[in-house]
Structure 1
Amino acid sequence: MLFSRSFCTSIIRKSPVKLSYTLYDNNVVPNKSPIVIMHGLFGSKNNWNTLSKALNQQTQRKIIAIDARNHGSSPHTPVMTYGSMASDVNELLNDLGHDKSILIGHSMGGAAMMYTALRYPTVVDKLIVVDMSPIKTSPSLHQMTDIINSMTAADFSNIKNISEARKKIDIYLAKTIDSPGIRQFLVTNIIEDNGVFKWRVNLPVISQYFSTHIAQFPTEIINNKHELSSSFDGKTLFIGGSKSDYIRIEDHEKINKLFTNCRIEYVEGAGHWVQSDNPAKFLELSNEFINET
């Protein structure tokens, strides 16, 4: 059975917000912790559709793929911090009545799930972080500022249909974004709203919070100047790409101080989008970890 919850994204809400999600619950074994998945920046729950179905089938657990605030079908809100995103996840788990869940997050979603584990450790059974570090992020992440600026400057006037919109904006973005794959990923965020074409994501708020709150994990956690748990002691798996520089070997010791019961695996030949570059290996590592007692 597949269930989806969506909201009007034009409504401005304060933290926490009711997240949009899709539920995959075929052949679920009772009393197993569900798996909650959050995408990365400019992504959506739809990016995880194929992998969610596979995880549901292979683990026999409920899979809850969510849209982060200001993304997908979740509400727009004027705040975009990892603290607020963690509050959203905790609110969703409370709404669904789950005592403990397995959290999976990629990139921005990985940071949000790490924060959730540190802030609400009692609701987390296990944690899987995909190519994101709580210590330092890739220098390439800061190039996202140029991408945000290009998206902001895109002109949606005189467009007749969604196909034309995506083609026109792809041509425009090509002036500053060389990768066709990244451009195609970005233009999936174009929607039509009452005859007007626009970005589905809340670009102004993302732009406002990117450099100070999204591009780096909160430094107060790393420096232990906060009121959260000083570490998360539950089982944690970091899955990095061997071609990515997000999870650096020299940071392993510091990562282990925050996530004391973790192991770090690298997928050979994969870049930042590990789950897309090698979905079979990603599923193998995830299933093995999830099924561990």
Structure 2
Amino acid sequence: MANYTRPLMLHHVVEVLHKCKIEKSIRSLNIGSTNLRCIQTTSTRWNEPVKLAYTSYEGMNSQKMSPSTMMTPIIIQHGLLGSRKNWASLSKAIHSKTGRKVIVPDARNHGDSPHSNNLDYEVLSQDIMKLMEDLQIPKATMVGHSMGGRAMMKLALTNPSLVDRLVVVDISPVNVSPGAQAMTEFLTVMKDIDLGDQLKRATARKIVDEKLQVVVKDTLLRQFLLTNLVEDNGKFRWRVNLKSIIQNLPNIIGHFPLKSEEYHGPTLFIGGAKSDYIKPTDHEVIREIFPDAQFQYIPDAGHWVHSEKPGQFLEIVLKFMHEKD
């Protein structure tokens, strides 16, 4: 039932798997210095927040911790079709360099978090708020990539008191890359792939990769999509809730739901120089929503800037987190 990570060198990794709503079983395990608490429950109602699966990186370099940093952990939200595992290395590095607790959840319909028919930035931000409430976190630094970046923007705009500072990775509240519009086609191909039973992992991945090549020419993108292929009782399936994602895709790649809110806290937009998700021509409009926004572009990086150039990305993020307001 549970999925956990063994203790990593010099620090604790806490894996917690939650699902809503009626608790069926609770069990606590002590595995070395790692505490695992797993709650298995049924799915959520339409408009309720879900309890997200997450990993918490904490307990390393305790000498760097002060009361202020302990009160302001960092929450990182991945992008569409990603998972918390995509951010494992960077999360460990950020924790090691700052001494802060770093919490990385799986978004609903992704990873080990509950599936839901509802998927938009309102519920994604509410899920993060629910996580903060459960963990008794009054305020945090928010980091989000793509879909996760928009979810964190929504949270900052509607509940600014919860956000210490905001890092948005290669996504804009103003426009979406034209390339994102092609996602429906390859999502549909993913949903329609039937792998049958009793295949070896290498064979299953090869079959899926060949079918995806028809609509996804980029090798790195196909490899990213293949991270969602998991084995379940001898049969491979997609870990993400493709049906809900396809149904709600206009809510994710469409216009960002802006009202009259503004977030006046420190805000950093990080873009890949080869990506068109954050256009320089949009900076002025973005600053109307986030008046304290600054922008950084990493050379030779595309949409997955944090995985393509992790060293440069980490340097920029750490500098921003150490800046005084």
Whether the TM-score (by the shorter chain) exceeds 0.5 is yes
Q: Which amino acid aligns with 1:85?
A: L
Count of aligned positions: 285
Cα deviation per residue 1:147-185 (whole Å; 9 max; x = unaligned)?
Answer: 111111111214423333222211211122112211111
Closer/same/farther in 2, CA of residues 216 and 10 from structure 1, 3 Å limit: farther
- Output the CA distance in 2 between the equivalents of 1:126 and 1:291: 11
Q: How far does residue 11 in structure 1 lie from its aligned partner after superposition?
A: 4.2
Closer/same/farther in 2, CA of residues 290 and 217 from structure 1, 3 Å limit: farther
- Counterparts of 1:31-180 in structure 2, within 5 Å, are 31=67, 32=69, 33-180=72-219
Aligned to 2:52: 19
Is the contact between residue 158 and residue 261 of structure 2 (CA under 8 Å) also seen in structure 1?
Answer: no
- Output the CA distance in 2 between the equivalents of 1:97 and 1:7: 16
Of 267, 270, 273 in structure 2, the residue corresponding to residue 242 of structure 1 is 273
Of 241, 251, 256 in structure 1, the residue corresponding to residue 287 of structure 2 is 256
Aligned to 1:286: 317
User: Which structure dedicates a bigger proportion of its chain to strand?
Assistant: 2
- Output the CA distance in 2 between the equivalents of 1:37 and 1:277: 17
- Output the CA distance in 2 between the equivalents of 1:147 and 1:156: 16
Q: How far does residue 234 in structure 1 lie from its aligned partner after superposition?
A: 0.7
- Output the CA distance in 1 between the equivalents of 2:255 and 2:93: 30
Higher relative contact order (Cα pairs below 8 Å, separated by 6+ residues): 1
Cα deviation per residue 1:170-218 (whole Å; 9 max; x = unaligned)?
Answer: 12111221122111111111112233321000000000000x2000343
- Output the CA distance in 2 between the equivalents of 1:162 and 1:237: 40
- Output the CA distance in 2 between the equivalents of 1:61 and 1:7: 23
- Using structure 1 for the length normalisation, give the TM-score: 0.93
Q: Which amino acid aligns with 2:304?
A: W
Q: Which moved more, 1:2-11 or 1:164-173?
A: 2-11
Q: Which amino acid aligns with 2:218?
A: S
- Output the CA distance in 1 between the equivalents of 2:254 and 2:270: 18
Q: Which amino acid aligns with 2:322?
A: N
Question: Which protein has the larger Cα radius of gyration, Structure 1 or Structure 2?
Answer: 2
Closer/same/farther in 2, CA of residues 158 and 184 from structure 1, 3 Å limit: same
Q: How far does residue 252 in structure 1 lie from its aligned partner after superposition?
A: 0.6
Aligned to 2:13: 2
- Output the CA distance in 2 between the equivalents of 1:197 and 1:7: 23
Is the contact between residue 176 and residue 253 of structure 2 (CA under 8 Å) also seen in structure 1?
Answer: yes
Q: How far does residue 276 in structure 1 lie from its aligned partner after superposition?
A: 1.3
- Output the CA distance in 1 between the equivalents of 2:188 and 2:221: 15
Is the contact between residue 19 and residue 88 of structure 1 (CA under 8 Å) also seen in structure 2?
Answer: yes
Q: How far does residue 7 in structure 1 lie from its aligned partner after superposition?
A: 4.1
Is the contact between residue 165 and residue 197 of structure 1 (CA under 8 Å) also seen in structure 2?
Answer: yes
Q: How far does residue 69 in structure 1 lie from its aligned partner after superposition?
A: 0.4
- Output the CA distance in 2 between the equivalents of 1:207 and 1:11: 22
Percent of pairs with identical residues: 43
Is the contact between residue 74 and residue 102 of structure 2 (CA under 8 Å) also seen in structure 1?
Answer: yes
Is the contact between residue 165 and residue 265 of structure 2 (CA under 8 Å) also seen in structure 1?
Answer: yes
Q: Which amino acid aligns with 1:284?
A: E
Q: How far does residue 12 in structure 1 lie from its aligned partner after superposition?
A: 2.7
- Using structure 2 for the length normalisation, give the TM-score: 0.84
Unaligned ranges ≥5, structure 1: none
Closer/same/farther in 2, CA of residues 34 and 217 from structure 1, 3 Å limit: farther
Cα RMSD after superposing both structures: 1.5
Cα deviation per residue 1:24-60 (whole Å; 9 max; x = unaligned)?
Answer: 1112414311000011111000000110011001111
Is 1:182 the counterpart of 2:221? The answer is: yes
Q: How far does residue 259 in structure 1 lie from its aligned partner after superposition?
A: 0.7
Q: Which amino acid aligns with 1:101?
A: A
Q: How far does residue 238 in structure 1 lie from its aligned partner after superposition?
A: 0.3
Q: Which amino acid aligns with 1:259?
A: F
Is 1:213 the counterpart of 2:244? The answer is: no
Is the contact between residue 198 and residue 234 of structure 2 (CA under 8 Å) also seen in structure 1?
Answer: no
